[in-house]
Structures are given as C-alpha cells and as structure tokens.
C-alpha cells in the first residue's frame, strides 16, 4: 500500500507540475509537491532527512535543466522566476522524483546499470509527455534532444540512487543507536 501511495503521489505531483507550468500556474506543482511531501513523511514514515535528499536532487535538477535552457536545447512554459534557468515547477519535479528514490525506485539502488537504462528510456519519455501537455518545447531536432536527455538521465538516475542510499543509511536505525556509524558512512 505504501509503495502504491508513493507511485500515485509521484504521478499526481508530476501532472500538477507539468499542467501548472503549461497553464501559467508555476505555483501549482510546488504546492502539490508540498502536500505529497507531507503525506510522504506522515503516512509513509519517510526519514526526517528526506527533505535534504529532495533539496539535493532539486539542486541537481536545477543545474541539469538550466543547462538545457542555456544551450538552447529546450524552452519551458512559464519560465518563472527567470527565463535564464529551469523554472520552479521543473525544480519541484526533481524534488518529486527524489521522493521515489528510497521507495518505489529503491530496487534500482542495487541494480544501477538497470537504473541507468531506466533513466535513459524514462527521462526522454517524460519530456515527450511534458511536450505533449504543453510544458516544454524542443528547440533542436527531436533526435538531438532525445539523445541528450537519454545520456543525462542515464547518468542522473544512478547518481541520485547512490545519493539516496547514503541518505537512507544515515537515517536508518543504526543512526539513532550509534552516531559514529553515520560519520563513517
């Protein structure tokens, strides 16, 4: 049941981010993300430091998606707060993705190569879906954009899975019992 809640919460938040961005409501996705995060924490019993994981992954996402804007590869709808970087609703999507890393995507933590394949396929598919919903426009030929997205997400998924496993370890039962274990992790 908790796994299903994580999957449903992720998808609802993802849709709110894209549709909000496409409709000029940059705040909608972050607002729904806040609700998902609170539900995640209270219902799923997510570790207290999961907000740090979400913030770390959001920072990675800000850098990655801003590089697409800088390079002229993509243009996002509702580019708030600036047209020079990824919009807030895209950053919220990355934080939303982070909430799956120790839950519905946890299995990939021990299968990083499959995680990379999952990212290389799923990342571009998500951007194609976002384009169909009006959230993003490809400014370069589709093949170029999809290849860049596949490479980026093929690297980002294993990287963020490793990051998530570190946060998971630091929040585990050992952390409460023996703080010295965490500092060596």
Task: Please give the pLDDT value at position 180.
Answer: 33
Task: Please give the pLDDT value at position 174.
Answer: 37
Dist CA 118 CA 102 (whole Å): 16
Enter the tokens of residue 88. Answer: 């807030």
Q: Which long-range contacts (CB under 8 A, 24 or more apart) does 49-56 make?
A: 49/167, 49/170, 49/171, 50/98, 50/99, 50/102, 50/167, 50/171, 52/167, 53/98, 53/101, 53/102, 53/163, 53/164, 53/167, 54/95, 54/98, 54/99, 55/95, 56/98, 56/163, 56/167
Cβ(68)–Cβ(140) below 8 Å = no
Dist CA 16 CA 26 (whole Å): 10
- pTM of the full predicted structure? 0.89
Task: Please give the pLDDT value at position 43.
Answer: 82
Residue 136 is given by DSSP the state: E
**Stronger pLDDT, 118 or 2, i.e. the higher one:** 118
> Given a cut of 50, is residue 175 above it in pLDDT?
no
* pLDDT, tens digit, 9 for 90 and up, residues 120-170: 999 999 999 999 999 999 999 999 999 999 999 999 999 999 999 988 754
Cβ(157)–Cβ(57) below 8 Å = no
Single out the residue of 2, 147, 181, 172 nearest to residue 73, CA to CA: 147
CB atoms within 10 A of CB 66: 18
Enter the tokens of residue 68. Answer: 């697409």
SS3 label, residue 74? strand
Task: Please give the pLDDT value at position 178.
Answer: 34
* pLDDT, tens digit, 9 for 90 and up, residues 44-93: 776 778 899 999 999 999 999 999 999 999 999 999 898 999 999 999 99
Task: Please give the pLDDT value at position 42.
Answer: 85
Q: Are strands 136-138 and 74-76 parallel, antiparallel or unpaired?
A: antiparallel
* pLDDT, tens digit, 9 for 90 and up, residues 12-21: 999 999 999 9
């Amino acid at each position: 049941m908790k796994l299903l809640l994580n999957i449903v919460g992720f998808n609802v938040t993802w849709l709110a981010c894209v549709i909000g961005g496409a409709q000029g409501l940059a705040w909608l996705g972050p607002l729904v993300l806040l609700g998902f995060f609170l539900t995640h924490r209270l219902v799923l019993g997510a570790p207290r430091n999961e907000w740090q994981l979400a913030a770390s992954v959001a920072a990675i996402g800000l850098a990655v998606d801003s590089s697409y804007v800088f390079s002229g590869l993509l243009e996002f709808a509702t580019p708030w707060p600036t047209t020079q970087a990824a919009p807030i609703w895209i950053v919220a999507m990355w934080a939303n993705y982070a909430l799956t890393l120790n839950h519905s995507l946890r299995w990939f933590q021990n299968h990083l190569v499959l995680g990379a394949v999952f990212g290389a396929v799923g990342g571009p598919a998500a951007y194609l879906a976002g384009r169909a919903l009006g959230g993003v426009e490809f400014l370069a030929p589709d093949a170029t954009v999809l290849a860049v997205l596949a490479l980026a997400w093929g690297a980002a998924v294993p990287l963020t899975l490793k990051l998530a496993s570190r946060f998971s370890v630091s929040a585990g039962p050992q952390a409460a019992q023996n703080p010295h274990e965490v500092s060596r992790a």
